[in-house]
Amino acid sequence: MQGKVLCSALRKGLFSPEGQLLWRLQAGRNQLRMASSHPVAAVCQMTSTPNKEANFTACQHLVKQAKDGGASMVFLPEGFDYIGSSREETLQLSESLQGDTISRYSQLAKELNVWLSLGGFHERGHDWENDRRIYNSHVIINEQGEIVAVYRKGHLFDVELAGKGVSLKESAFTIPGPSLVPPVQTPVGKVGLGICYDLRFPELSLALQRQGAEILTYPSAFTVATGTAHWEVLLRARAIETQCFVLAAAQVGAHHAKRSSYGHALAVDPWGVVLGDCGGTEGGVAMVEMNLQRLQDTRRDMPVQQHRREREYYSGLD
């Protein structure tokens, strides 16, 4: 419930002075309560458009609000930089990791002394001049403004759902990433990186868990149709089967005339309990206390990983 309260307060804060006051009072109480115990993560929800400057302003506001609430790491969704209205626009707006967008976020992290998970950056491919294709890249920046990890999305969303209005072919302009990256040690715990459609592949989450992940993160821009049917179910399943926290920043609402996202940025604990939900209408932040003792207790009481059989057992039917 804590996450839902803060999301509601921040949504009001975007539009009214009384909402901002509610946010500050609630955040202050939580900051005092949390500061002496466990680190705090902030899971963000926003509505990106093709306007990169407006998107940065919105993200900057969310990051500052999260920092004021005591967060030591802030998680932004897939497409935080922009969501284009066509293939051509998506490619034209893309940048390299050395471009202006990542530089601005590095500076923001350094100014606020906060870690950032930039959940889906349109990164120009290594052979951009010849093939004009991009990666969908999850970038982790530390409090010094340094890039400490880059994961390039491995599973691309090529889906046609007849009758549900979903028709996307990510591979038309995106290069699949070559590999997973090891979990990253952060102030809130050891974070394993995924992006959106990766959520549907439990092999990825189990591989990250075996490498020590305590938190799995799936920054996303789920469609309304797939989000309504599968979003919370999949996130809770990944948490339960890996006994990890799961943090999923999300896009919400209409990005342009052709595309809308489901929302419901979510935080889930290792038992599968939803700790925060930003709803399905507006931007906001869920503030989550990262009590890693809860993870250890869950793994101790139900030692699933100890009960897992040797890999040959599961490949015996191949």
Catalytic residues: 78, 153, 196
d(C-alpha 136, C-alpha 266), whole Å: 21
* Token pair recorded at residue 132: 């004009």
d(C-alpha 97, C-alpha 167), whole Å: 29
d(C-alpha 31, C-alpha 278), whole Å: 19
Q: Are 221 and 191 in contact (CB under 8 A)?
A: no
The residue with tokens 């179910």 is 233
Judged by phi (left if over 0) then psi (alpha if -120 to 50, else beta), residue 57 lies in alpha
Burial of 75 by CB count in 10 Å (0-12 exposed, 13-18 middle, 19+ buried)?
buried
**What DSSP designation does 197 have?**
G
Q: Are 195 and 119 in contact (CB under 8 A)?
A: yes
d(C-alpha 60, C-alpha 113), whole Å: 13
User: Apex CA 156: angle with CA 154 and CA 158, to 5°?
Assistant: 160
CA atoms within 13 A on the CB side of 111: 9
